[in-house]
A = this chain, B = another copy of it.
Amino acid sequence: MGRTPIRHCRNCGAAVAYRIPDDGDTRERAVCPQCHTIHYENPLTVVGTVPVLGQKVLLCKRNIEPRWGKWTLPAGFMELGETTAEGAQRETDEEAGAQIEMGRLFTLLSVRRVGQVHLFYLARLLDDSFYPGHETIEAKLFAEDEIPWDELAFRTVRTTLECYFADRKAGAFSLHHLDIE
């Protein structure tokens, strides 16, 4: 998964061992030999938007790793205390400083290899004033024939943009539920 293994118990600090717990579980977990805490590692949810103004879509040039300098739709890890849609709107504000009206859920993409689920919502930009945060070098509107396809940061962004332009051409937007291998 590309994740760092758990070495110590978050509860008591003792060194953990990966083994199948005795509670009927079937998977190896990091188990604390001292306080018996079982540490579960689960997929993360990434939430973002497809911010649209007229015929153009807003992309952000990343100022952080991974994929520094590549273009992305505004998106990031969902936080505790928010809904998926609230998270998507927050990320759009943080990364692009863009004011939007949220639309429908547009893509739901399982990225098994990295243990993530990505959700992108359609969104309508209220104006073309952007105030990118520290995670973004530049926020810019792109027409379909201007999209930097070879400079996109993530496959889920590529897939979501492909679905967006295909649906726009077809004249109807629907939910795209896909797995990214």
**A-to-B contact residues, CB < 8 Å:** 1, 3-4, 6-15, 24, 27, 39-45, 77-86, 104-105, 108, 110, 112, 115, 117, 133-135, 175, 177, 179
Contact = CB atoms under 8 A, between A and B. Distances in A.
A8 B7 contact: no
A80 B110 contact: no
A40 to B, nearest CB: 7
A119 to B, nearest CB: 8
Given A10-B7, A12-B8, A13-B13, A135 B44 contact: no
Contact of A79 (B42, B45, B134): B42
6 contacts: A3-B80, A7-B11, A9-B13, A13-B13, A43-B79, A86-B110
B115 A41 contact: no
A17 to B, nearest CB: 14
A1 B14 CA distance: 25
Contacts of A104: 177
